[in-house]
A and B are shown apart, each in its own frame.
Chain A
């Protein structure tokens, strides 16, 4: 008999768990209706961001931009006579969290729209949920094209990797006159692998040659082996489509090994830490493309930079902050135009959006991706320097 007590309890536990599920009163029905048809009270917006974990630097930056935008809008009276309530959840830079958070937003918080995230991998996880429940989602800076392919409720306010890959390739061939190029990409990052691919396609199509391709993993610190192989291959340019943390070490180690050819990459380079890690001298002759430069003279960009500095103790905003800001601005503009917060109307207004934000004119194409100018930044004397702006 004693033996039987255990299984019974086991099953009672399982039953209790199942019963718990069964008895749970359903607080929300009608999934397809789309969250925010409400016409009174605050307009609730959910933002999911990597506030901690490996991509915290980007997540924090983007979050600050979004926060600033809502504070400004609320100070100016909100939209439709209502204020914005900005909810934030932390994805901890982990897989598996984003989908849960998106479900919480749409079913518990009844958000009007979802904003997030910087990393494409996590945007890809939340997007199907937003699409299914008809809640518009705007990604500030996920550049992987697959994100908006999920469905017609998914938008982004940044350009995409094919565009970025192409413009880096054009910059390499036209400005740097590079013909034989090496690629050193991060095999564990969706962003890095994608950018490398689009660069390769465009570069080869324009007659260039990829002499050697080497890989590394997120959090690697020693790249001398790969760089030595690249050096031996003899190239006149190296594409490093990674994040600033590894890029800093790569540039530094490359210069130490006597690899002096130009090195270039994308918006993952964007961080002051890049200069601290690599050192100003090693960063000579390096270039990266990004969405925004604080040196941009456009009035919208300058007023954003000033407001950001005033709000966050003199911190200079980077591209992630500017895009976080623009993602919120795009939503506010669309709500004002739609005159309602109802998902379907909002979706249509977002698709037709056309406004000038911190990162320039934001207008979406048929695939709901922003076609917008990119800037090329270089480093001189240990400081980032705006080099040129490239129109789409």
Chain B
């Protein structure tokens, strides 16, 4: 029983991080209709910003306040990076085919990874403890303070995101662009501005995800984004891409399934699981659990 409960907690804390990354994928997809492959590398940059903040820029670590400061810093830098990428690489391709944009996104992803390897070095780096850490044990089950931080931050960010999208002017504009970009521009919505904002928001989430991931798994390297990124993408598709609660739900589900599989003899097939789920969901319910099917119009 304790084992089952422990696995549930393990799965939820892993799933919360997937959810955080998945939100960024889903937001960009909702507005622009393309998979931002570079999202997982912005996530990596977020983690490294945290590392530099503590080890190079000498921001003290170990208190809640300084932890939040570093988190905010990483989110800010990533938002900036996201907007820059959008302006330089994606904007010139606004009306080109999805494939062109997809290839560009892969290019940006490769660039961030390999430039990262050049700048940060290929060796994994140990991550500092940003928040005060402790573990709580009860009934044979362990919860670490870092896991709680992840859960709390994810819930807060999800709530904030929901508020922005549904109860603010820019959020309404985002939904309008997502629904019909041409019509939105006709009623006077500044499309470029909305897209930039979406990228800033999505990348900030990736940055937060990077830092939270790194404090839970304190070894970071320039290629750390690839796997969580892919799994978060699967989560976004599972929940219904373009759907915010769906991304969160998908993230938690993937985290749970992976954890329960890893706890059995089949642990060796762990990396294949997420992809098997993806293939199944695309075949059985392409719109995802919470998504609505779109018919392609000419």
A touching B, CB within 8 angstroms? yes
Known: A217-B270, A257-B6. A228 touches B123 (CB 8 A): no
Q: Which one of A154-162, A244-252, A341-349 is at the interface?
A: A244-252
Give the complex CA separation of A216 and B268 in angstroms. Answer: 6
The bracket for how many chain B residues form the interface is 35 or more
Q: Does A177 contact B (CB under 8 A)?
A: no
B235: min CB distance to chain A, Å? 15
Please tell me if the beta carbons of A221 and B213 are within 8 angstroms of each other in the complex. Answer: yes
Q: Does B3 contact A (CB under 8 A)?
A: yes
Give the complex CA separation of A134 and B263 in angstroms. Answer: 49
Give the complex CA separation of A377 and B23 in angstroms. Answer: 45
> In this complex, which of B6, B7, B221, B224 has the most chain A Cβ atoms within 10 angstroms of its Cβ?
B6
Q: Is the interface of B mostly helix, strand, loop or mixed?
A: helix
A127: min CB distance to chain B, Å? 25
Chain B residue contacts of A231, Cβ below 8 A: 3, 6
Q: Does A80 contact B (CB under 8 A)?
A: no
Please tell me if the beta carbons of A258 and B262 are within 8 angstroms of each other in the complex. Answer: no
List residues 180-227 of chain B with CB under 8 A from any CB of chain A.
213, 216-219, 221, 223-224, 226-227
Known: A187-B268, A225-B260, A248-B219. A276 touches B213 (CB 8 A): no
Across the interface, A256 reaches (CB within 8 A) one of B126, B144, B264, namely B144
* Residue of A with least CB distance to B126: A276
* Residue of B with least CB distance to A243: B124
List residues 118-137 of chain B with CB under 8 A from any CB of chain A.
122-127, 135, 137
Chain A residue contacts of B271, Cβ below 8 A: 217
Give the complex CA separation of A225 and B258 in angstroms. Answer: 9
Convert A244-268 into 0s and 1s, putting 1 for each residue whose CB lies closer than 8 angstroms to a CB of B: 0100110010001110000000000
B266: min CB distance to chain A, Å? 9
A272: min CB distance to chain B, Å? 9
Q: Does B11 contact A (CB under 8 A)?
A: yes
* Residue of A with least CB distance to B5: A228
Known: A232-B3, A277-B126. A225 touches B223 (CB 8 A): no
Q: Which one of A51-59, A106-114, A197-205 is at the interface?
A: A51-59
List residues 245-285 of chain B with CB under 8 A from any CB of chain A.
258-265, 267-268, 270-271
Please tell me if the beta carbons of A256 and B10 are within 8 angstroms of each other in the complex. Answer: no
Q: Does B115 contact A (CB under 8 A)?
A: no
What number of A residues sit within 8 Å (CB to CB) of B? 32
Chain A residue contacts of B213, Cβ below 8 A: 221
List residues 28-78 of chain A with CB under 8 A from any CB of chain B.
52-54, 56-57
* Residue of B with least CB distance to A93: B122
Convert A156-190 into 0s and 1s, putting 1 for each residue whose CB lies closer than 8 angstroms to a CB of B: 00000000000000000000000000000001000
> In this complex, which of A52, A187, A219, A222 has the most chain B Cβ atoms within 10 angstroms of its Cβ?
A222
Q: Does A16 contact B (CB under 8 A)?
A: no
Q: Does B168 contact A (CB under 8 A)?
A: no
Known: A53-B122, A245-B219. A225 touches B142 (CB 8 A): no
Across the interface, A229 reaches (CB within 8 A) one of B11, B14, B122, B263, namely B263
Chain B residue contacts of A229, Cβ below 8 A: 3, 262-264, 267
Given contacts A229-B3, A256-B144, 16 further A-B contacts (CB under 8 A): A54-B122, A56-B122, A214-B262, A217-B270, A222-B14, A222-B217, A222-B262, A225-B262, A225-B267, A228-B6, A232-B3, A248-B219, A249-B219, A273-B125, A276-B125, A277-B126
- Please provide the 3 A-B residue pairs with the shortest distance between their CB atoms, ordered closest to farther: A276-B126, A225-B262, A221-B217
